[in-house]
Amino acid sequence: MLSREFIRENVEFIKEMLKKRGMEGQVDLDSFVQLDIERRKRIQEVENLRKLRNETSERISILKRKNENVEELLLKMKEVSDKIKEMEISLEEVEKELIKIELTIPNAPHSSVPVGKDESANKIVRKFGEPKKFSFKIKDHIEIGEALGILDFQRASKITGSRFAVLRGIGAKLERALINFMLDCAKEKGYEEVWVPFMINEKSAISTGQLPKFREDLFKIEGWEYYLVPTAEIPLTNLHRDEVIEGEKLPLNYCAYTPCFRSEAGSYGKDVKGLIRQHQFDKIELVKFSHPDNSYQELEKLTRDAEDILIKLELPYQVVVLCTGDLGFGAAKCYDLEVWIPSQEKYREISSCSNFEEFQARRGNIKFKTRDMKKAQFVHTLNGSGLAVGRTLVAILENYQQEDGSLIVPKALQKYLDGLEKIEKN
RNA sequence: GGAGGAGUGACCGAGUGGACGAAGGUGACGGUCUUGAAAAUCGUUGUCCUGGCAACAGGACCGGGGGUUCGAAUCCCUCCUCCUCCGCCA
């Protein structure tokens, strides 16, 4: 969320920003301006009356102690009191409308973010490795996994439905190995491991920006105001909601494994087969709470920390900086890590590393204060996947496939699989 | 699921419906004392909103929401959270 004061004073800038994001006309800024003026007018009216009430009440108290007659004052004040109540209600209405609009305003992209309409304007920042050349006809991860007996989509759809997967035997162990490997990588980089609830409440989802705008992306628990976590970003960032962090301790680095649940509304027909786009997938998330002065250095670090996992797994990838039109709602800047998927001959997103600046901190009231600061100030929050486990599994299956249908285990993972070097059909 | 108890500032903790934004303490910061430190001692120490260039003025906030009242931290209702006991349970 941007500050009310900032929006008030930079309406033209916001309009321009919305245009860059391709959200022109999607936010009712004119109403915002009107409501903002109206709100402040009503505040002044109400506060003047409250002042009168406070003063008179004090007088009544004094008069009463002197045993003087206060009947007339009481009657008069009864009226004032009713009037205040009335006005408080009308003020609240305006405030609610204002918040409604505020919550639909996206973050302002950082000045270094390329301007563009859609993903075609994203810029490749760097690459690692080369797409491997295969001397045989390659298979996609579904074919490989099913042939090895480690992936089963049919039974998953029987148990639940489409966009779910069953992993079996060494496949299940591989998933668990990846989770442990990634958490260990994060720990090595100084992230504290956290185990969090896999359901979140409304407030938490508003803080990080999923609600109210993206409600249809979440799975809601019937009869509860709880949602299944779509990303560990939410519980991790909300660790410090409504807190003032000791400034000397910044940056705070956290990592967590959670399964992630997404409805994938609006992605019908996209990646319907295989592990790429599931309703449930595993992910390790990295979250930083940073001092505003160096949040962009922290973003670089965070991105490198996520990349390092791909380097260790020796998977070819590229880093892309998202353009204004492709940038997430709350992000000021975002790097996507894209891993090479041989069967699609494409780089596909496997991690997304963003700096939210104050956007989430303001929504979630997350501040910091150092000893020499007079006032607490909003932190900058950052997060990135380190990494999406399901997609990593896809990348491994496809990039490490052998002509005979077996699979070489990446060196970095072998110690997590009792030294296993190769997976073959059993 | 049943029965009780509790939620007050960074923390601990007091608070008869009017002199309470809130005693007292701890911590932090600043001063005095000291060669330095400790101890002692004095002082400062919340957030948000409105108006104002500012100094400042005003308003709101005692878990959240509502109610009673001229006036609520204090009374009533409701929700949330935590604790204790009983029951059930992985």
Q: Are A350 and A337 in contact (CB under 8 A)?
A: yes
- Rounded to whole angstroms, the Cα distance separating A237 from A252 reads 11
pLDDT tens per residue, range A39-52 = 999 999 999 999 99
pLDDT tens per residue, range A344-366 = 999 999 999 999 999 999 999 88
ipTM of the predicted assembly exceeds 0.90 = no
Token couple for A244: 């003032």
Mean pLDDT of A227-256: 91
Q: Are A285 and A394 in contact (CB under 8 A)?
A: no
- Rounded to whole angstroms, the Cα distance separating A410 from A424 reads 14
Q: Which of A184, A200, A99 is nearest to A413 (CA)?
A: A184
pLDDT at A353: 98
Number of helices (H), then strands (E), belonging to chain A: the values are: 13, 17
From A39, A163, A362, A391, active-site residue: A391
Mean pLDDT of A46-61: 91
pLDDT grade, residue A64 (50/70/90)?
confident
Q: Strand B: which residues have Cβ below 7 Å from it?
A: A 4-5, 40, 43-44, 46-48, 50-51, 53-58, 60-61, 64-65, 74, 77-78, 80-81, 85, 92, 244, 371, 374-376
State the average pLDDT for chain A. 93
Mean pLDDT of A192-206: 92
Mean pLDDT of A84-106: 92
Q: Which of A109, A96, A29 is nearest to A327 (CA)?
A: A109
φ, ψ dihedrals at A59, nearest 5°: -65, -45
Q: CA(A225)–C1'(B15) in Å? A: 36
Mean pLDDT of A170-195: 97
pLDDT at A34: 95
- Rounded to whole angstroms, the Cα distance separating A314 from A422 reads 16
Sort A44 into a burial class: Cβ within 10 Å, 0-12 / 13-18 / 19+.
Answer: exposed
pLDDT grade, residue A376 (50/70/90)?
confident
Token couple for A290: 């940073």
Mean pLDDT of A140-156: 96
Q: Are A175 and A259 in contact (CB under 8 A)?
A: no
Q: How many residues make up chain A in this entry?
A: 426
- Rounded to whole angstroms, the Cα distance separating A345 from A347 reads 7
Token couple for A78: 């009864």
pTM over 0.90: yes
Q: HEC states along A110-138?
A: CCCCCCCCCHHHCEEEEEECCCCCCCCCC
For tokens 């989430």, the residue is A360
| pLDDT-wise least confident of A34-43, A61-70, A302-311 | A61-70
- Rounded to whole angstroms, the Cα distance separating A170 from A152 reads 13
| Percent of chain A predicted with pLDDT > 90 | 80
pLDDT grade, residue A421 (50/70/90)?
very high
From A42, A163, A262, A348, active-site residue: A262
pLDDT grade, residue A238 (50/70/90)?
very high
pLDDT grade, residue A371 (50/70/90)?
confident
